[in-house]
Structure formats: structure tokens, C-alpha cells
Chain A
Amino acid sequence: MAEITIAATLDNLDTVLAFVDQQMEEAGCAMKLMAQVDMAVEEIFVNIARYAYHPEVGEASVRCEAGGDPFQVIVGFADQGRPYNPLEREDPDVTLDAEQRQIGGLGIFMAKKLMDDIQYEFRNGQNILTLRKKG
């Protein structure tokens, strides 16, 4: 499984997406699945970049594995920021009209909906999020 460790900053979003795209491309991943994984990865990484170490800057590790039969993509994130499980956040009400819409929490909600499964654990002082999606 390939892994990168980089500063968790918004400037590194493109690096993270290029890394997971490379793993998925090498495994012959379908375009639609790649786009779904990219969207979920963006939301999770942006969340880490904005909140995990705020106002400091820390590192995040991203692992990616793609392949198998049935085809599956697994992306793991680890950071040593403050313990926080984004999956516990209440889902936004997606039935409200434009005027009443609250935009907060929409990113994590999107990630949850786009992936088959997201798991959170706090282990050895690290927030660990694991995303899974079958092709």
C-alpha cells in the first residue's frame, strides 16, 4: 500500500489528490469511481487541514490501495491533531430550501454518502479515518 506524509495544509490538497489518483489509475480504476473517491478525499483532507492542528500546522499521512476482485479502493488518513471523530457530527438537513440551508457539515456528509463505508478510530495518539468504496 502506497503512503505519503505531508503538511496538512490546503496548499497540499492537489498533492493528495494526485497521489490517490495515481494509485487508482495504476490499478485501472473506472473514472466515475475515481471522481467519487476524489470528492470524499478532498472533504476529509480539507477537514484535517482546517481543524486538526488549528492554529498550528501538523502532518497528515495518506495511504491508498486500489485493486482486487471485486475492485475496491481504500484510502486511510492519519493525523496527530486533536482527537475528533467527524462521523459523529450531525448530518445536515438536505430537505431545506435555499434560504434556510446551513452549509456546515455538508462536506463530511458528502464523503459519507459517496463512500460505501468510513471508519474512525483514535489509536496511538492518532485520528485514523479509513474510507472504502467498491467499484
Chain B
Amino acid sequence: MTITKNVDHNTLRITLEGRLDTNTAPQLEAELKSSTGGISELIFDFSGLDYISSAGLRVLLAAQKTMNKQGKMTILHVNETIMEVFEITGFVDILTIA
């Protein structure tokens, strides 16, 4: 998985490419831990993300909890496969998917 970060003032945009799975989720978790301080808007771009596992959901949930305290979080360009996972797990109601 490739993680690309862009910071503009208090907005952090993270673009993911590949698979957010058991083996790559810790990378994203570490990246978020070091980058979300002082951020009031977190935007994920999933246009290059093929796949998500429960390990990825765990990281997104933690990010959502952090952003609930300090601003907002939005996920863009979710593919059909990942959307099905969000629906099955009720994450559609927790996340803001645009």
C-alpha cells in the first residue's frame, strides 16, 4: 500500500493506493498518529484503494474517534467492494462517505 500525505493549513489529505489489510494497516496507523496533531479536517482519498480488511476498519474507527474530538473526517471515492464492507459492518453510519 502507498500512503501519500498532503497538509494544507489544518487540513490533512491522505491518499491510499493498494490494499489496506492486516499487514499494511499498522503503516497507516503510525502515519495517522504522527500527523493528526492540530488537524481539524482529515480527508481520505480511496480512489486507488482496492480492498479493506477488518484491520483497516480498526484504523479508520480510531481515526474517526480522534477526529470526532478535533474536527471532521471524510472519505472520498470509495469503490463498490469497500462500500459493501462499510455497509455490512455498519461503518456507513459511523463514517462520512462523500
Contact = CB atoms under 8 A, between A and B. Distances in A.
B57 A103 contact: yes
B53 A107 contact: yes
Which of B52, B53, B57, B89 neighbours the largest number of chain A CB atoms within 10 Å of its CB? B53
B10 to A, nearest CB: 21
A46 B57 CA distance: 15
B65 A99 contact: yes
Interface residues of A, number: 25
Interface string B25-38: 00000000000000
Given A10-B22, A13-B22, A35-B81, A106 B64 contact: no
Contacts of A36: 81, 84
A101 interface: yes
Interface residues of B, number: 24
B51 A106 contact: no
Given A38-B51, A98-B64, A103-B61, A13 B21 contact: yes
B94 interface: yes
Nearest to A40: B53
Interface string B48-64: 00111111011001001
Interface of B: 21-23, 50-55, 57-58, 61, 64-65, 68, 80-81, 84-85, 88-90, 93-94
Given A95-B93, A103-B61, A110-B88, 6 more contacts: A10-B23, A43-B54, A94-B89, A98-B64, A106-B57, A109-B89
Counting from the closest, the 8 A-B pairs by CB-CB distance are: A94-B90, A107-B54, A35-B81, A113-B88, A106-B54, A98-B94, A103-B58, A42-B53
17 contacts: A36-B81, A36-B84, A39-B81, A39-B85, A42-B21, A42-B53, A43-B53, A43-B54, A46-B55, A94-B88, A98-B68, A101-B61, A101-B94, A107-B54, A109-B88, A110-B85, A114-B84
